[in-house]
Amino acid sequence: MTPLPRDGNSPVRIAETDVGMLNSIGLANPGIDRFLTLNLPQLEKLGVPIWVSVGGFETDDYAELCSRLDDHAAVSALELNVSCPNVEAPVESAAEIVAAARLATRKQLWAKLSPAVPDIAEVARAAQASGADGLSLVNTIRGLKLDAHTLRPVLGPGQGGLSGPALKPIALAAVATCYRATGLPIVGMGGIQSGLDALEFVAAGAKHVALGTVLFADPDAPARIRIELHAAARERGWNTYEAAYAAAHEESLSLRTT
């Protein structure tokens, strides 16, 4: 959500690549007013926890959105999109955005970080110090695809965010780094296509995992991956996948059971 409605970027906004998908949606959304009056009441009927991603172009945008969502019981967490590659970077730093959002809401705050920074651990620690309850890792990384005939950019805006399999090693490194740097709960995301992929994120330090690009080709992926996740853990000697949490870190190897 953003404070005002956004049409997003001009088409073409999605393009396949050999290693994943490029998107340049540009935060298209109906705006917070329509979301609260139309979309959220419909989502509440699902009876599941709802996370709302909020974005903006300056600190006040994030604070306003968090304040307006604070009294809605159906919203269990707010994800601060401080790293979208398809809009201009926020004027203020991630730390300032998290701090302002923290003052505006009692809800859990998860900071979604970009891997395209010199030191993601430093950004993660700054978000933690400013009041983030958890981290979402990672957002897409900027990429470009050219038309094979015209050699012009395929996407309308030119470049877009690369997601899918190519992002997985980058995301795993970010999860492992930020786990060591902060110890915060982490939602790991980036190229997850199977239960084993999800288990790797858990082992790297993710408490939760999120699916994105895989859903375009396999809308039933969540149920399939959940089953595969349990199976992959058992095949590797863990009674539950939770027992594999942070197993990639030496100090956590004792968690493995036989």
Does residue 175 belong to any structural domain of this protein? yes
**198 inside domain:** no
pLDDT at 255: 43
Percent of the chain with pLDDT over 90: 90
* Domain membership flag for residue 179: yes
pLDDT classification of 93: cutoffs 50, 70, 90: confident
Backbone torsion region of residue 20, taken as left when φ is above 0, otherwise alpha when ψ lies between -120 and 50, otherwise beta? left
- pTM as predicted: 0.92
How far apart CA 93 and CA 126 sit, in angstroms, is: 10
Quote the domain boundaries for residue 129: 14-191
Tokens coding 22: 């490029």
Determine, yes or no, domain membership for 217: no
Average pLDDT over the chain, rounded to whole?
A: 93
Please name the residues in contact with 64: beta carbons below 8 A apart, sequence gap of 6 or more.
Answer: 3, 32, 56, 104
Residue 92 within a domain: yes
pLDDT above 70 (res 141) = yes
What average pLDDT does this structure show over 173-196? 98
Rounded CA separation 2/5 (Å): 7
Instruction: Read off the CATH number of the domain in which 175 is found.
Output: 3.20.20.70
Query: Is residue 218, in this structure, part of any structural domain at all?
Result: no
In a domain, 166, yes or no: yes
Structural domain contains residue 37: yes
Distance CA 149, CA 28 (A): 30
Query: What would the pLDDT profile of 41-52 be if each residue is shown by its tens digit?
Result: 999 999 999 999
Under a CB-based contact definition with an 8 Å cutoff, are residues 100 and 124 in contact? no
Our count of domains for the chain comes to 1
Helix ranges (H only) for 19-93 are 32-34, 40-44, 59-69
Q: Is the pLDDT of residue 257 over 70?
A: no
Catalytic residue among 84, 101, 127, 192: 84
CB-based burial label for 157 (10 Å; 0-12, 13-18, 19+): middle
The stretch 179-208 carries a mean pLDDT of 98
Please indicate whether residue 178 is annotated as part of the active site.
no
